[in-house]
Structures are given as C-alpha cells and as structure tokens.
Amino acid sequence: MSDDIIETEECQRKDPMDLFHSGQVVKICAPMVRYSKLAFRTLVRKYSCDLCYTPMIVAADFVRSAKARDSEFTTNKGDHPLIVQFAAKEAQVLCDAAHIICPFADGIDLNCGCPQRWAISEGYGACLINKPELVKDMVRHVRNQIDNPKFSVSIKIRIHEDLKRTVDLCQKAEAAGVSWITVHGRSIEERHQPVHYDAIKIIKQSMSIPIVANGDIKSLKEAENVHHLTEADGVMVARGLLANPAMFAGYEETPFQCIQDWVDIALEHGTPFTCFHHHLMYMMERITSKQEKRVFNVLSSTSAVLDYLNDHYGLG
C-alpha cells in the first residue's frame, strides 16, 4: 500500500448497506485472527458468503507503520464487499486508519467485543462496551471525516449482564451514525455458555438500523433458525465457516470440491504452509477418522499435504 495509490484512488465501492435492503438474511464471514485473510475470503465468497471481514487490525500500528499495513492487509478486485475491522481507543487514530483503507474497502468495523486479556489491558475490544460515549465519539468522527457516504461504519459488541446498558450503547452508536451493529450474544466473561439469542432480539427491537447476530452458528439451517429467533438482519459466522467454508451454500459438511478449491486458491495466493494446513485440518475434521487425523495433522510441508490429498481423495 503506497501513499501514491492512496492519494489517487477514490472511494468508489458498492454500498454494503444494499445487502441489508435485499430482503434476504445477510450471510457474513466473521473477523478471525490469522484466518479471515484474503485467500479464505476468496473461498467463502465462492460458496454464498455475502460479506467478509478482515482479521482485527490494531489501528495505531496500521497508521504508524507501512510494514504493518503490508503484512496485515491484502485485497484484490474480487474481494468485495469487504469490511476492515480495527481495534482502536482514540477517535482520530480510527479516522486516520479509515482514511488509509477507504480506497480499498467498503467499510470499517470497530471491535468492541474481543474478550482477550491483552486487548482489554490495552483499552481495546470488549472493554469499550463500558465506554458508550467513547464509542459514540469514534463512530461520529469517522462519519464526519470520511467523505464517501457509501463507506460503512459498524461496530461489533458483546452484551452486558444488564441488557439496558447494551441497548443504551447501541442507541448512542445509532445516534452517531453507525451503519449496523453485530451482537455476539455473550457477556465478556462468557466463553462456551449458550448464546443469549433472546438478548439479540431485544436489541433488534430497540433499534432501527440493521442488527447482525453472532455466536455458535454451525450450519445454514442454524443460521436461518437464529434469524427467526432474533429477527436479525444478518448472521455472522466464525468457527462454523472454518469447519465448513461451504456452509452458507447449504452443505452439511465440507464438500471435496471446496477442499480442492482451497488448495487451488491457497497455492495461487502463496498462503504460508501453517495457515494452509490449519484450514485443511478444520475443513476435514468431520470427514476424517482419528487414525487419518493422526497422520494428516502432523504433515509438515505443502508437498506432503498435496500427496496425502491425492493419495486418499484424488485431490490436490
């Protein structure tokens, strides 16, 4: 990403909000550390995913370092609509990051949901749900400083124990001009407990902007059920898509064609071996025996993986 490109390109992307006006539930690939990168986004878009997020990027590093920009963000012409998720705690830093990314993406998302200790200790992620005025200020600043009205500004949150506080946060963000809000239906403390879909429904009924439901969706049928339970306008999926990137196209388990597509896309993009291999381990989890996993999961080179896929499945 050079400054020359940034200065000369205009923010001329489709309006991601159009997806929410289609009358269909919007199917979204979640921001996932290490995993929701360009190659994987390319794969899920082949299988009915409507909207993709990048992994979370720390806005301050992105603004300060060209090296960080080059390593954290890659895209291409087919990678749209695309939302870049940032971790930020200062309005102007988020604005600066949005200015840089605007020519290459369709919107930004402010992470207000990451529960990891490092993020919270730095003032990022889920701790922001307890700072509604700061969230409102950050959203408003980006809205006011980015000229392109089609460039979306969204937030992804977790819920409070006291849901009134979550509704207040969402209403403040709406007043500041937020485009939509993704709600992970758990509190900061909750990890594997059941998702509070009833809470997402209450938030949806309190708002006039689109709401996206997130948490424990592992099939298209579950996505449709969550849509009906919450009345949400979209569903965001993380682990379910890692296990089955063809999930949104209605496949119950990863089809062999999808595995072949991943091999082709990953090799074309020069995906590092560890990432290439990890994705395959996730995808093949449900279709391999324990014995097969013991062999496949310890392979240590791309050529060994390709040989295995060819020998066992005629793939690669």
pLDDT above 50 (res 153)? yes
Given a contact cutoff of 8 angstroms between Cβ atoms, the answer to whether 32 and 238 are in contact is: yes
Is 70 inside any structural domain? yes
- Is 81 annotated in some ligand binding site? no
**Cβ atoms within 10 A of the Cβ of 226, count?**
24
- pLDDT for res 8: 29
Structural domain count of the chain: 2
Print the domain residue range for 269: 256-313
The answer to whether residue 288 scores a pLDDT higher than 50 is yes
The answer to whether 226 is a known ligand-binding residue is: no
What is the CATH number for 206?
3.20.20.70
**Partner residues linked to 109 by β-bridges:** 85, 154
For residues 32 and 71, membership in a common domain is answered with yes
**pLDDT over 90 at 84, yes or no:** yes
Residue 63, annotated ligand binder? no
What pLDDT score does 263 carry? 98
Category of 177 on φ-ψ map: left (φ > 0), alpha (ψ -120 to 50) or beta: left
Q: Is 145 marked as a binding-site residue?
A: no
- Indicate whether 78 pLDDT > 80: yes
What is the pLDDT of the chain when averaged over all its residues?
A: 94
Taking alpha carbons only, the member of 33, 30, 55 closest to residue 44 is: 30
Are 230 and 136 in the same domain?
yes
Say if residue 239 carries a ligand binding annotation.
Answer: yes
DSSP element (H, E) containing 29: strand 26-29
Q: Stretch 207-220: mean pLDDT, rounded?
A: 97
Judged against a pLDDT cut of 50, whether residue 6 lies above it is answered with no
pTM of the entire structure? 0.95
pLDDT score of 13: 61
pLDDT at 170 over 50: yes
Question: Is 32 marked within a binding site?
Answer: yes
Q: Are residues 68 and 32 in the same domain?
A: yes
Residues 182, 135, 96: CA angle, nearest 5 degrees? 100
Instruction: Give catalytic residue positions.
Output: 114
- Rounded Cα distance between 166 and 61, Å, is 29
Q: Do the annotations mark residue 103 as ligand-binding? A: no
pLDDT digits (tens, 9 = 90+) for 85-139: 999 999 999 999 999 999 999 999 999 999 999 999 999 999 999 999 999 999 9
Give the confidence band of 14 by pLDDT, cuts at 50, 70, 90: confident
Residues 116 and 261 in one domain: no
Are residue 207 and residue 287 in the same domain, yes or no? no
